[in-house]
Amino acid sequence: MTKLSIVPPREQTPAEKLLSGIKGIKPPPGVLQCAKCGGRTLMTTTVGASIDEKGRFKRGIVCDDRICYHCHMRGVWSQMVPDKPRVVKEPRPRRTKPKALK
């Protein structure tokens, strides 16, 4: 039987130190910042965009909105603005069966 032991934490790499420093910087009020990489660049992806006969751009259907560009390029899906929390309603009390009369 092998003996288990706790592995001590390793030193941060220079890239991890830089990333933790960037994530620690507070953005100005109203500026969005990614929680995973600290980036401030966002993008919107659409499906079905086209150009009509007159040369005007038609946008199409929005698939993802406000996604971190840097995380997307690395293959990580990170939304810059989290969804609004939904209000959970109290369940209605169940109707009890009427008691049988004697």
Q: pLDDT digits over 44-83, tens only?
A: 989 999 999 999 999 899 888 889 998 999 998 888 876 6
51 strand-pairing partners: 57
Q: Identify the domain containing residue 72 by its residue range.
A: 31-83
In a domain, 72, yes or no: yes
In a domain, 7, yes or no: no
Specify the pTM. 0.56
- CA 44-49-55 angle, 5° bins: 125
Which sign does the torsion angle of CA 8, 12, 13, 19 carry? Answer: positive
In a domain, 39, yes or no: yes
Number of domains in the chain: 1
14: confidence class by pLDDT, cuts 50, 70, 90: very high
Task: Determine the residue type at 26.
Answer: K
